Amino acid sequence: MTYDDEKFDNEQANLLYRKGQEIYDVVRQIADLIPDDDPELSFTKGIMLEDASLMCVKIAGAEGGDLYDIRMEAAAVIRKAANELMLQNHSLDMYGFEHTEYYQIVRNLIEEYRLLFIDWVAGFDQWNYMIDRWGLFNPPGVGPFDKDIDDDLPFNGFDDDEEED
């Protein structure tokens, strides 16, 4: 897999995405060592691969969505997936996986990812948002009950070229 493809206009997103791909590749290599006939280890393998893939997929969603609240929601999912992936070595160890020492590579890569993640999130445009009425992903100073100035814009449901009957 190549990591020099520019997928996004945002350089921080490209760096984060490439690091996420690197993490996924290492997780995939470790997962290939997990026997399929062990139900607990197979279940853990599935979770590991899902978490590793979310760390890339959600970057694409955040970059495509562009709005602050969408980006922050994606960032929260990424953080959760990275934290869970960071701890999977305990499950592997508990279920008797014989190559848990390789998992330190994943943990080191996640730390590198975390530092890139901080820079990526710091670059989110706090002025490009829709009010999150649930109150979780609003920019600083914006609340879920704030008035949305877009609510005052006239809208008749027709395109500018169409006329109302």
For the whole model, what pTM was predicted?
A: 0.84
Domain extent, residue 25, equals 11-152
Query: Does 4 fall in a domain?
Result: no
The predicted-structure confidence for 52-81, as pLDDT tens digits, reads as follows 999 999 999 999 888 999 999 999 999 999
Count other C-beta atoms under 10 Å from residue 139's C-beta. 16
The predicted-structure confidence for 102-136, as pLDDT tens digits, reads as follows 999 999 999 999 999 999 999 999 999 999 999 99
Query: Does 81 fall in a domain?
Result: yes
Query: Does 3 fall in a domain?
Result: no
Query: Does 94 fall in a domain?
Result: yes
Query: Does 160 fall in a domain?
Result: no
Q: Single out the residue of 126, 106, 109, 128 nearest to residue 117, CA to CA.
A: 109
CATH code where residue 36 lies: 1.20.1440.60
Return the SS3 of 135: coil
Count structural domains, the chain.
1
Query: Does 165 fall in a domain?
Result: no
Segment 129-151 shows an average pLDDT of 89
Task: Give the separation between CA 116 and CA 42, rounded to whole angstroms.
Answer: 30
Query: Does 159 fall in a domain?
Result: no
Query: Does 135 fall in a domain?
Result: yes
Q: Which long-range contacts (CB under 8 A, 24 or more apart) does 125-130 make?
A: 125/66, 125/68, 126/68, 127/68, 128/66, 128/67, 128/68, 129/67, 129/68, 129/69, 130/67, 130/69
